[in-house]
Amino acid sequence: MESSQIIILAIIATSLATFISRFMGALTSEKVSVKSKVFQWFNCVAYSTLAALLGRMIIFPAGVLAESELMIRIVVVCICVIIFILSKKNLVIPTIFSGIILSILS
């Protein structure tokens, strides 16, 4: 099998896995109470996974981000968290500013 076919097969398989789990979540979401322990547990797992991925991206970056220094990445994250809080939890503004600030400081 050629490498392009393997890539296409991998994309299809991961897409199916993602869409099936989302579809099942949509079907069962009406039966799960937001205040239930199960929902809170899944919420905690989702946030901890996100925090771990962000921490990995900041401490052990790959690609172009690895060319910047650790201190610059930490400063950019701190500034963007402050912008996020000041902008009333708007996600677009800190995302745009993170790229701008990182390119200026690097």
- Pair 92, 67 in one domain: yes
- Pair 18, 53 in one domain: no
- Pair 90, 77 in one domain: yes
Q: What average pLDDT does range 42-64 have in this prediction?
A: 89
Could you report the per-residue pLDDT of 60-101, keeping only the tens digit for each? 888 888 888 889 999 999 999 999 999 988 888 988 988 899
| First-to-final CA distance of the chain | 42
**Could you tell me the residue range of the domain that residue 27 belongs to?**
1-31
pLDDT value of residue 81: 92
C-alpha radius of gyration, the chain, whole number: 19
- Pair 69, 106 in one domain: yes
The total domain count for the chain is: 3
Which pTM does this prediction carry? 0.58
- Pair 24, 38 in one domain: no
Higher pLDDT, 68 or 33: 68
